[in-house]
A and B are shown apart, each in its own frame.
Chain A
Amino acid sequence: MVEPPRAVSQENNRMSDFPTRANVVVIGAGIVGNCLVGHLARLGWTDLVLLEKGPLPNPGGSTGHASNFIFPVDHNKEMALLGEQSANQYRDMQMSVDSGGIEVARTQARMDELTRRMTSAKAWGIEAHMLTPSQVKELVPFINEDVILGGFHCPTVSVVDSLETGTTMRREAIEKAGCQVFANTEVLDIETAEGAGGITTVAAVVTDKGTIEADYVVVACGVWSNRIANMAGATIPLVPAVHQMADVGPMDVLAETNNEIGYPIVRDMDTFCYERQSSGSMEVGSYGHRAILHHPDEIPSNAEAALSPTEMPFTPDDFDDQMETAIELMDMLGDAEIKYAINGLLSLTPDTMPCLGETTEVRNLWSAAAVWVKEGPGMAQVVAEWMTHGYPRVIDVHGADIARFYDQERSDEHIWSRADEHFIKTYGIVHPAEQWEGRRNLEVGPYFSRQQDLDATFFQARTWERPQWYGVNADLVERYGLAEREVEWDNRWWSPITIGEHLNMREHCGVVDLSSFQIYELDGPGAIEYAERLAVNKVDVAVGRSIYTPWLTPDGGFHSDLTMMRLGEDRMRIVTGVFDGGRDEFWTRRHMPTDDSVTFTNITRQLTTLGLWGPNAPAVLSQLTGQDLSQDGSPYGSIIDAEVAGLPVQLFRISYVGDTGWEIYTAWENGPALWDALMEAGADLGIRPTGGGVYGSSGRLEKGYRLMGAELESEYNPLEAGLARPRLKAADFIGRDAYHAAREAGDPEVSMCTLTVEDQTDGQGRSRHMMGGNEPILDADGGRIVDSHGRVSRATSAGYGPSVGKHLLMSYLPRELAVAGTDLQVMYMNEMYPVKVASTGAVFDPDDTRLKG
């Protein structure tokens, strides 16, 4: 008897061919997995296997029920540029139609938000127009223009065929690289082994059809990704969440277009709904219902599902409010029949960004998850490039890097809480500085209760609470004659107290809590050699000296910028910011030699740091220590063991705010005593607790100090950022060849500049305050400034410089414009403001006399 044939994919891989090993196994054949094998094949990878639990071409994941449209404008650079990249890939494959799309506003707040959308559209070079209600009606004749105030029209909104795109990319992988595809194949386990240096490394994928040993495994399993990663002991922090969608129709006005989509997609932003034509029907989708989250185990199998696993039973009660508002906007929807309605599942992460890159727990186990159809092809390219080149080339993805998450952010409790909080913000108006309500106080410094007593307003940096300003300093507002900002949006999540704290620090001194610093130490005979390999600048310096240095990607762009301190012959301390701690720790561990010559220790919770800065800082500190605090006894950049108020500390003479002083490191438990001693010693010298508004914004901006993730991204190199040293060090380091080539190429094409806003008055006569949210810097004619690599000039940071009396912006500019005095413009909320290039360095104390004089 002949054994009956077994089910396989249309790509015709028979189970008798099921491989026992492969170079790369990609799990999941949705839009991401398919595009990933396609991109890997384009980059020359071979020996690929694609596994899929469901049938092809529609395995039953989120791709199969996606509404398949792309609104290209996003305030977030990564999402905007990868969305554009994806849209272009769909276009190149002739898998998309430009339907156009309109976001309509029912409220003035939304109209303001649409002006912000216009600004982001300008930044990314996407055509967009503001429309009056009657102009909206011209494009969408069945809309009720009486309930809207206006619209934001983007003609390049597109509708794509994600399933066919996936099939095409998969076939390309088969043709180019001989990728083997196995559908109806369930992954039961991912095995790991102890690799070189005792590092947990992916070894094999166990399926119901057999086991495949693999060098690399990529989890592209959409809503199931965390469950699959858990099999290997890794985490991909996402949760399956419901997005409700109902297909209603038929309606003659739609059917008459004889088209899948003949009218622009309408996003009814204030009701969190969209209306998207699908042939003769309208898909009404909602992000306005309660957050409905599921555990992966609650998702049915293909066999158990009435429709598909990710098309869960519709819960109509959750949709009723959206129906009412949808009918309000388009009356014809009321009489249309609800033919199909689902609780469709998609992936949400704790911070709304995707999960890309190698997992931190298991070497060679990669994540390509929490990616929606709109950015699928672009993000697949990112992961493929990352696997190939050591870092993506298409764009910097620090915001989507899975290594960004700290352990507490990977727990189900955190993922669910954050997803529950931000689901309603999917179409929301989200302020750039908006703070989370839930899951606060996860990590606090040792001064927390004191800061609460001082009425601190805390901002959360990933898991860490940091005082942004102190209510107790409200008297400074009066002292310095400060005021709230005129426009509520500009004033939101801001206080004039922060300006008061700045001016007080410049006049007297301030204490800044830096407990959230992420601190690592490298020890062992190979520590210094390894440190050299990470850093651009020479870190093999005298014991007691420190180096501020970039770390580069293999392509010579920024991966990190941080401080490295030589504490001993074989000991190097690394101090980095809390936003980058996860990525920097992973990068450090990832490149460590495997010969046991270096040990890595994270001592973040052992040490606390206080910044003491201002002209009175030496006078305050001198009361508490016998240490010579002169520039000779404690020179800039030195780190000295000392005693302060009887406590053992390390005094690090450095400043990120432009005034002299120290970062004082001491044991966590000594922190409160140090705080109290400084406050007491400084009582008559004008000392004030000083918040992150000074440290991270005004003090930094006046000095032109660059910030990782803002000014510093992998698309830029140290020459462009103005951080290149005169000489290239002899020792090898990651990115050296690329950096060397860039140096040899001569002057950089762009330079980082600080600009001053010359007039902040808007069309209504109000003073406005740009926030550094990628506001485009434009030439005198209002044209975008784009370099030969396609990089656009935009405000990477912005804020008021109290000591220079100007609102400051930072932006890369082409060399010919990067000249003090050049007049340009910035767009903010769809209005133009004159700006002037001030400097490629600091606008306050450019000679650093206050630091070193």
Chain B
Amino acid sequence: MRILVCVKRVPAPGARINVTADGQTVDAAHLGFTTSPHEECAVEEAVQLTEAHGGEVTVMTLGPVAAEEQLRYAASVGAHHFVLIPIDDVDWDPQRTASALAEAIAAVEETNGAFDLILFGNESADAGGFQVGVRVANHLGRPIVNGIKGIEIGGEQGGELDEGVATARREIDGGFEVYNVPMPAVLGVKEGINLPRYPTMKGRLASKKAVVDTDERTVEAGGQVRLRLHRPVEQISETVILGTGPEAAPAVVDLLEELGVLS
């Protein structure tokens, strides 16, 4: 089977996320970059599905040229083909992103045939817009289910098991919704669907040889405009260790008295 996973290069933040002075982006001076965690799971899921059912995984990203690092990371954990849609450093809005991805996917599919599954992360780790997967599915005229925490190939269709159907489990309060989705389909995957593997050293070295196709797209901007990012006021929650063992007891009593719990 043929699976496409769309990923996004995002900063790997520390406890505090700083915003650049112009308010347009996360200040990444001290940060490394990574793949959004949901998408990391999507890549892992795709690799596992092809390990079980055969086929190949293509990973696509729209991002700065440096996002090649995330494609190679996907290569190091078992993905096979890679497409980079290069943009300048500033994020494209969701409509524009989705249009470019849909065009690029169509171009790949025109040559190599349709993807059985297109996996997105449920939402990106930085912008968290929840839009791109849905918009791409809409562009391509394919069904989409978000919030997926389990995928099996083969599902009931008309009372019979159909290999052309994916069974997708979506977590809800108190249980799961189970969708039988005819492929080709689009799924938005959530962290927790699996435990992504780490790359092996051999995987990392092999990834250096992976071929990354570049597909430049010129697409008009959509309607969403970023005004500026704000960092919320930090909720400082500090911890005091009053001591260890029995010696801590007086300090605990003091504090309880100070708080008015004891009188």
Contacts and interface: CB of A to CB of B under 8 A. Distances in A.
Given A7-B240, A337-B200, A303 B205 contact: no
Contacts of A246: 201
A334 B30 contact: no
A670 to B, nearest CB: 54
Interface string B1-41: 00000000000111110100000000001111100000000
A549 B263 CA distance: 74
* B contacts with A: majority SS: loop
A5 B255 contact: yes
Contacts of A299: 30
Given A298-B30, A300-B29, A337-B197, 15 more contacts: A2-B260, A4-B238, A5-B238, A7-B240, A12-B241, A12-B251, A300-B14, A301-B16, A304-B14, A304-B16, A313-B12, A314-B32, A334-B201, A335-B202, A339-B198
Nearest to A333: B201
Interface string A325-339: 011000001111111
B201 A323 contact: yes
B240 A6 contact: yes
B224 interface: no
B14 A303 contact: yes
Interface string B158-190: 000000000000000000000000000000000
B198 A320 contact: no
Interface string B69-93: 1000000000000000000000000
16 contacts: A6-B240, A7-B239, A9-B241, A10-B244, A246-B201, A304-B16, A305-B14, A306-B32, A307-B14, A313-B33, A316-B204, A324-B205, A326-B201, A335-B200, A337-B197, A338-B200
A8 interface: yes
A531 interface: no
Contacts of A242: none
A304 B240 contact: no
Contacts of B13: 306
A248 interface: yes
Interface in A262-317: 298-307, 312-314, 316
Interface residues of A, number: 38
A304 B255 CA distance: 31
B18 A304 contact: yes
B208 to A, nearest CB: 6
Nearest to A314: B32
Contacts of A339: 198
B259 interface: yes
B54 interface: no
A320 B208 contact: yes
A659 to B, nearest CB: 62
A304 B248 CA distance: 32
Interface in B101-126: none
Contact of A304 (B30, B205, B208): B30
A335 B244 CA distance: 43
Contacts of A12: 241-243, 248, 251
B204 A323 contact: yes
A344 to B, nearest CB: 14
Contacts of B242: 12
A324 B260 CA distance: 63
A339 B77 CA distance: 12
Nearest to B255: A5
A248 B14 contact: no
Nearest to A9: B241
